[in-house]
Amino acid sequence: MPASPSTARAINDRLALRLLQQEGPLTAGQLKQLTGLSRPTVSDLVERLTVSGLIRVVGESGEQRRGPNARLYGIAADRAHLAALDVRTGGVLVLVSDLVGRVLAEVAVPIDAGSGTGPAVEQAVAAVEEAARKAGPDAWAGLHTVGIGAPGLVDPATGDLRDSSGLPAWHRSLVAALQWRLPKARVTVENETNLAAVAEQREGAARDRDTFVLLWLGHGVGAAVVLDGRLRRGASGGTGEIGFLPVPGTGSLPSATDCDGGFHALAGAAAIGALAREHGLRVEGPPDGPGAARLVARAVTAGEGPAVRFLDTLADRIAIGTAAVTAILDPGCVVLGGEVGQAGGESLAARVGARLNRMSPLPTEVRPGTLGGAAVLRGALLTARDRAQDELFAP
């Protein structure tokens, strides 16, 4: 059955808006060429989208001729403002952007673990409000969508952050507090590693992959699974909790509330620090993701002696957990994400890939992530933008 005229118009409008999002400002002639639609159809949709306030004239094409055919149309970026949050154990990072994803303001706030749930939530909410004020009066007047990336499990049925051992209690109270303070905003939360995978697929190392696994290497370890272009969360939201994976070499087994006997004990930041000491490398600073990344980066730069042996042993450890994942999923590609994956670069990825392909009969390419710790915030912004555009661009 052919589409009704209204359905056809809606499809054409969405197609034009997506092209303007992907390509930037375009003339009506360029839209005609890219969509394959007739000139009258393109003229009608441009008028509709302009009247609705979704697009506007943003300049001219620079061609010799002037007039209507040279006008450049772009998405009305100030139609909505978005916030993205990267919620960490010790603080929160916030950015505010316009509808096309241009960052207008950023705020970082450390939150002390002993400050209590109420004060910690207030600090985090105040950071969002500060970023909105910095972004300008339109953003301060109201955020359309807020995307949050946080450690821990997100219940796929409710979208709520589940209780997870070792994480601050204020994490679970933040969504409700933001929704109360920003009653008109759409607030969503997603696991941080899943958001990192979204960012690496859209803007980073996995842009050419529909199926891959992102292995997060930071303060802790985690994984995100993308199969046939879809992020897989699992029945309870726990797909990728690889820190709990039982592996040889840990001396014990993990429990339901403690991953210290799992893969985390081999490849988490504290384990990387201990491994560096074993190889005689200087260890400074706290045992967190950035600290472990600095150790790995220095070892890559040194390129000889104890540093090489440290990298070889670390690659052995990472390959053990990665082999278990690839044996089940056969993703064909593993991205080493997070601060440590980015710091190790091609040097660490090549080592892990060589060891992995000796252990597994399934050919798997191992790539370094390109976005590092920033991937969570980028993923939160991308998902917030998608949700806002889906609503605003709907017929």
- Residue, of 268 and 169, whose pLDDT is higher: 268
Give the helix/strand (H/E) hosting 395. none
What is the model's pLDDT at position 197? 97
Question: Domain 82-194+376-393, CATH 3.30.420.40 — does that match?
Answer: yes
What is the model's pLDDT at position 343? 95
Structure tokens at 280: 């005689």
Residue 277 has pLDDT above 90, yes or no: yes
Residue 68 has pLDDT above 80, yes or no: no
- pLDDT, average across residues 124-134: 95
Residue 67 has pLDDT above 80, yes or no: no
Share of the chain above pLDDT 90, in %: 61
- pLDDT, average across residues 25-38: 90
Contact criterion met (CB below 8 Å) for 89 and 168: yes
Residue of 368, 241, 263, 364 lying closest to 320 (CA atoms): 263
Dist. CA 242–CA 239, nearest whole Å: 8
Phi, psi of 349 (to 5 degrees): -60, -40
pLDDT class for 298, splitting at 50, 70, 90?
very high
- CATH label, 205-370, candidates 3.30.800.10, 3.30.420.40, 3.40.50.1110, 3.90.550.10: 3.30.420.40
pLDDT digits (tens, 9 = 90+) for 11-25: 888 888 888 888 889
Residue of 267, 345, 282 lying closest to 313 (CA atoms): 267
pLDDT digits (tens, 9 = 90+) for 313-332: 999 999 999 999 999 999 99
pLDDT digits (tens, 9 = 90+) for 90-117: 899 999 999 988 999 999 999 987 888 8
- Residue, of 305 and 5, whose pLDDT is higher: 305
- pLDDT, average across residues 145-149: 95
Question: Domain 5-75, CATH 1.10.10.10 — does that match?
Answer: yes
Q: Is the dihedral of CA 116, 122, 128, 134 positive or negative?
A: negative
- State how beta strands 103-110 and 145-150 pair: unpaired
What is the model's pLDDT at position 69? 63
Look at 33-42, 44-53, 166-175, 341-350 and tell me which has the smallest mean pLDDT. 166-175
- pLDDT, average across residues 212-235: 94
3 state SS of 362? coil
- pLDDT, average across residues 231-243: 91
- pLDDT, average across residues 203-228: 95
Work out the burial of residue 89: count CB atoms within 10 Å of its CB; fewer than 13 is exposed, 13-18 middle, 19 or more buried.
Answer: middle
What contacts 340, CB < 8 A, 6 or more positions away? 217, 218, 269, 272, 289, 292, 293, 296, 348
SS (H, E, C) 93-132: EEEEEECCCCEEEEEEEECCHHHCHHHHHHHHHHHHHHHH
Strand partners, 366: 334
Query: Can you give the residue ranges of every domain in the chain?
Result: 5-75, 82-194+376-393, 205-370
SS (H, E, C) 24-81: CCECHHHHHHHHCCCHHHHHHHHHHHHHCCCEEEEEECCCCCCCHHHEEEEECHHHCE
Q: Which long-range contacts (CB under 8 A, 24 or more apart) does 154-158 make?
A: 154/189, 154/190, 154/191, 154/233, 154/237, 155/236, 155/237, 156/233, 156/234, 156/235, 156/236, 156/237
Sheet holding 230-232: strands in order across?
A: 230-232, 221-227, 212-217, 333-337, 365-368
What is the model's pLDDT at position 88? 87
Contact criterion met (CB below 8 Å) for 351 and 311: yes
Domains 5-75 and 82-194+376-393 share a fold: no
- Residue, of 130 and 75, whose pLDDT is higher: 130
Dist. CA 343–CA 296, nearest whole Å: 6
pLDDT class for 166, splitting at 50, 70, 90?
low
What is the model's pLDDT at position 4? 74
Q: How far is CA 175 from CA 140, 158, 165, in A?
A: 19, 12, 18
Look at 121-125, 137-141, 328-332, 360-364 and tell me which has the smallest mean pLDDT. 137-141
Share of the chain above pLDDT 70, in %: 96
pTM: 0.89
Residue 1 has pLDDT above 50, yes or no: no
